[in-house]
Structure 1
């Protein structure tokens, strides 16, 4: 992308989000004195505005807190200072934590950018754009809106209890901070997300050669994930299987080598949705170099290989290959984690933030199938991922039915550690499903109230109807 195009996209994104760079998401004011009616005028301006939504996934509050969520779980430990680290280390988060405010604000900024775009497109502002492309563009925006709402629900809502009233504030229309709103229920939150995904599945592009854009396959994969969190294991297994069976013909193919996912980044065939990060002007921040693996993560990497502790204290032979790739001296790179192969110059691919990839879908399918007692299908999907990590071809067949769900948890832990907070959200789910003890990973997690992040003070101050988590 050239500098002119980058500048256009930034301006479109700023206008569509109408957000301040700091402060409460519920105290939003226009960032530029431009009329949103003029942002989208024709096909070209509409496409640029859509790219502005994609650009917003590189925001500070989306990318920077990633290591903190794995510190919260106990998958990573801190080795240097990270903004907002207080509370994540000892699982005692306060509503005043700056990182929580960043997360809350910037995910709602994605939502508001999408809402403004959707409203303008539905008003027919993109003159001369073909009708089918208008629907595709709206679908792409709704898929991203669904993903942002889903992340907020998992962080700040009782996502594990569909009967709870503690969902999130749903935003379906553009907002500028003058509106106050109550939290929707968890069921209402999930239904809103599923409705957006249904539109995406119906109208989004079937595939996208550029994997930093979403498609029908992205929407279906995300739907399977949402259904898994709703404990609708039958539907989750079904949708995940559909994705796995149709992915190759749509251009989404599992990488043969685990490390290639991260070396290729957004060019990887495995990516269902990631950020585009190239050069110094299109970069996203991450503090991953200020973390390292925890004893728990190393033990999982050690024990999974042969179910017999090898006593390794380094990242050498006898450990799971995915762990070795992340932390061995040969592959960990300048940021000390092989999943972030930092490009040091202004014309290099930078660290890509993966939001959804095919490897995760295999493990979603494996877990859903195992919980449905469809053990053969579960083992087949697990074996696909395990084989890539260097496990023997009969590995999954030797796991007992009783242990299968927990072994899938451990493989998913290593597969996705430090990528997109999945270790934390899986831990919460598995504890609520009574598969693991509350303090089985980190002894500072002792109470259920610690499983949900508190609503930031900045959000509460701007919305007097917003109720704090108990």
Structure 2
């Protein structure tokens, strides 16, 4: 089987896409294609192939994949003109396996495995390069960046198509660490095995990835942040908290909270790519509109309960009422009071720089807050400080009266964890859909069907089997049934 790498080149010579599969991608035709054995022969060609792998995270099917969990969680309905059965099935929390225009599920699944396969070819070929690199570390850096991309792709696959929340589950994903050179199908790994492979790649990136590059490349700090996020999902709270705290304490000024939340979404110029808030983003391109702005625009209407909660909701702590947000702050940049999508509406044009926020510093603070509290079974001073840092950045005061203020140290653990979840959903909603995975994690931590439940937030989300997506029946059939389908599909 010939190992073909498709390399798509923009007019200025910037690599934008690479795929081992055929099909329409962003309406850009390949300028040239090379056999893998000929394409990666030195540092320059390895760098080009690496850039193409990064770009695979911004293909159209890829960006739509990031939206599916937000349709699960905080989208109440679609606006007129986009009522495809597939989309409506996500909004209703009953994903379908077939429809007249099914693309988001199958397209995202295939795209992530394309990323993984391209990484595996790159690793194989870079290891064989005999000519010197420009520095003693660059070869290891390229391999580390590639492995971080493989880890992220495997992680995205696991949390959408695997029972990511249950370390004892057999329903992980198929982990691939070698190039696919045949049509042979392989069975799924367990969830624990899936996480082990993801962490191995991230540990390599933490040790060997470069620092000081643009935020649309993986750095050692970004790899550390991704590992903290993965550990939180695994329930390894102590290590997640330590990694997140290390980033908070030791990564400024290159990695630090931006002064305001709004500037991350109001700025649609090249400057956004240098914002200190960003740990890792996928860079869009002018006149292509591929990114979260192109995916979301203003085509969704928020779940009324969530919109109300974020716009006017509050919590009583002791005798004090504390609102979750204030007018014209974070929530205004996500949904209007009527529920229309706003967060990316200013990006839905063809003359801007669009980005996909894979990880930013606000999430690191919130990972630390939750993980530190869970690890210590109490609201520690450090955990509270991290949560209130996000509140203060959003405009909360520390006056101690009623209103949009910081949280007091009299919170119970349950109150604190719920506050973290809500603050995280307001802060990050519709970016890469972190709010949905938090709902599932919290539900599983209390035992599905007792305590906190996803259905408390999204009434239609009552079946835990439907909290993840079905693997394409066509993929299962083509593999001779070797790959086991998710329960209830």
Once residues 149 and 304 of structure 1 are traced to their aligned partners in structure 2, the CA distance between those partners, rounded to angstroms, is 36
Once residues 371 and 130 of structure 2 are traced to their aligned partners in structure 1, the CA distance between those partners, rounded to angstroms, is 43
Q: 1:3 aligned to 2, 11, 24, which one?
A: 11
Once residues 232 and 341 of structure 2 are traced to their aligned partners in structure 1, the CA distance between those partners, rounded to angstroms, is 32
**Closer, same or farther: CA 130–408 of 1 in aligned 2, 3 Å:** same
- CA shift for structure 1 position 41: 2.4
- Equivalent residue number for residue 452 of structure 1: 468
Deviations along 1:364-416, whole A, 9 cap, x unmatched? 00000111235211100000001111222362225333310011000001011
Once residues 116 and 276 of structure 1 are traced to their aligned partners in structure 2, the CA distance between those partners, rounded to angstroms, is 23
- Equivalent residue number for residue 432 of structure 1: 444
TM-score between the two structures when normalised by the length of structure 1: 0.87
Are residues 1:261 and 2:264 paired? Answer: yes
Q: Secondary structure at the match of 2:459?
A: coil
Are residues 1:369 and 2:372 paired? Answer: yes
The count of residues paired between Structure 1 and Structure 2 equals 442
**Closer, same or farther: CA 318–283 of 1 in aligned 2, 3 Å:** closer
Once residues 70 and 434 of structure 2 are traced to their aligned partners in structure 1, the CA distance between those partners, rounded to angstroms, is 8
Alignment RMSD: 2.7
Are residues 1:323 and 2:301 paired? Answer: no
Moved more, 138-147 or 295-304: 295-304
Deviations along 1:307-344, whole A, 9 cap, x unmatched? 59xxxxxxxx9547200233459xx9xx9423453163
Are residues 1:246 and 2:250 paired? Answer: yes
**Closer, same or farther: CA 52–413 of 1 in aligned 2, 3 Å:** same
Which structure has more relative contact order (CA 8 Å, sep 6+)? It is 1
- Structure with bigger helix share is 1
Q: Secondary structure at the match of 2:452?
A: coil
Are residues 1:415 and 2:427 paired? Answer: yes
Are residues 1:341 and 2:352 paired? Answer: no
Superposed, which structure 2 residues align to 1:389-400 within 5 Å? 389-393=394-398, 395-397=406-408, 398-400=410-412
Q: 1:122 aligned to 104, 127, 131, which one?
A: 127
Residues 43 and 139 of structure 2 are in contact (CA less than 8 Å); yes or no, is this contact kept in structure 1? no
- Structure with bigger strand share is 2
Structure 2 spans left out of the alignment, 5+ residues: 1-8, 26-30, 318-324, 401-405
Once residues 131 and 472 of structure 2 are traced to their aligned partners in structure 1, the CA distance between those partners, rounded to angstroms, is 37
- Equivalent residue number for residue 357 of structure 1: 360
Q: Secondary structure at the match of 1:418?
A: coil
Moved more, 45-54 or 289-298: 289-298
TM-score between the two structures when normalised by the length of structure 2: 0.84
Deviations along 1:338-371, whole A, 9 cap, x unmatched? 34531634xx433211111111010000000111
**Closer, same or farther: CA 118–76 of 1 in aligned 2, 3 Å:** farther
Superposed, which structure 2 residues align to 1:52-201 within 5 Å? 52-75=52-75, 77-80=77-80, 81=82, 84-96=86-98, 97-124=102-129, 128-176=133-181, 178-201=183-206
Moved more, 85-94 or 278-287: 278-287
Q: Secondary structure at the match of 1:87?
A: helix
- CA shift for structure 1 position 445: 1.4
Q: Secondary structure at the match of 1:275?
A: strand
Once residues 264 and 302 of structure 2 are traced to their aligned partners in structure 1, the CA distance between those partners, rounded to angstroms, is 20
- Equivalent residue number for residue 5 of structure 2: none
